[in-house]
Structure 1
Amino acid sequence: MISKSPSYFFIEAIEDSKVLIMSYNNWQKLKEQNPKWNLLLVKLLEKGYATKEKREREFLLLDAENRYRIYLKEYPTLENRVKQHMIASYLGITPIALSRIRRKMKA
């Protein structure tokens, strides 16, 4: 939004969701009218940065099986709600590799 160019990324809802759509100009006006929106923005950016840093660290330092164990611990309710290929993509592995890890963990 800042550079007024299309995003390279997107978010896909896998369940019914409510989405708020706001133009960048309206967002700027909202922040000008009430400074608490800036505080919210800072909190969201801090959380986003911490999440991104943790994810990058895990990709660099952990193998796929350990990343999967962390995924199961942090998102215990998603295992049965999300398709295997989506979990594999999140972990940076193929669905076949995820199947192997699951099979190994069950043994």
Structure 2
Amino acid sequence: MESLLNYIRKQIILTKAEEEFLLSKIFLRKYLKGQYVVQQGDICKHECFVLSGCTKMFYLDDDGQEHIILFSIEDWWTSDLGSFITQTPSDFNIQCLENTELAMFSHDIIEELYAEIPKLERFFRQIIERAFVASQKRIVRNFALTAKDRYLYFRKQYPKIEQRIPQYMIASYLGISKEFLSKIKSQLSIE
């Protein structure tokens, strides 16, 4: 839990009593590789902080094709924010790519934390704002950059992820085939 507290301390200052209250409200859960945190169609009940492990958020289309939206590793957040905020069925799946431990905040607990520790509302608002901005920038990159440039950006922005996930998942995230990703990587190794 120290990693979560350190993450929070970078944004806001909590008293010892506030930290203890916060910790008393967190639900810890361990998932095995392959288990789902959220499944498409279910209501996302938790905002999750990754203490260890790796997850992917993806949409499964009507043809059974997986479209990866996001990867999350240690010290990152994961959830279907739209479903969590509105408490409506999720559009996405969140699945563990490794054995994963999450610190989980239910919708009701978040509201209780806002009431008891108002500065946490600002903290969580900032997390949501950053997630929104990152999502918008990713959309622009997907329209504006070539597949090669999207891959180079991915490698630069997320260096700790590439070694932990299969290449076909990176290809899905980039919106290209695994064969095209292999071609891009071969070209880069020559350059």
Q: Structure 2: 5+ residue runs without aligned partners?
A: 1-83
- Higher RCO by CA contacts (8 Å cutoff, separation 6 or greater): 2
- Candidates 145, 152, 169, aligned match of 1:62: 145
Matches within 5 A, 1:65-104: 65-104=148-187
Matched pairs, number: 107
Greater fraction of residues in helix: 1
After superposition, the C-alpha distances for 1:34-72 in whole angstroms (9 at most, x for unaligned) are 101111112101211221121111001001000001111
- Work out the CA distance in 1 between the residues paired with 2:156 and 2:105: 34
Cα displacement (A) at 1:11? 2.4
Whichever residue aligns with residue 98 of structure 1, its letter is: L
Q: Which runs of 4+ in 1 moved over 6 A?
A: none
After superposition, the C-alpha distances for 1:48-98 in whole angstroms (9 at most, x for unaligned) are 122112111100100100000111111223222210111101111111111
* TM superposition score normalised by structure 2: 0.52
Matches within 5 A, 1:4-83: 4-83=87-166
Greater fraction of residues in strand: 2
Q: Structure 1: 5+ residue runs without aligned partners?
A: none
- Work out the CA distance in 2 between the residues paired with 1:43 and 1:63: 30
**SS where residue 96 of structure 2 aligns?**
coil
**SS where residue 164 of structure 2 aligns?**
coil
- Work out the CA distance in 2 between the residues paired with 1:28 and 1:68: 39
CA 1:36 to 1:10, structure 2 compared with 1: closer, same or farther past 3 Å?
farther
- CA-based RMSD: 1.6
**SS where residue 80 of structure 1 aligns?**
helix
CA 1:22 to 1:80, structure 2 compared with 1: closer, same or farther past 3 Å?
closer
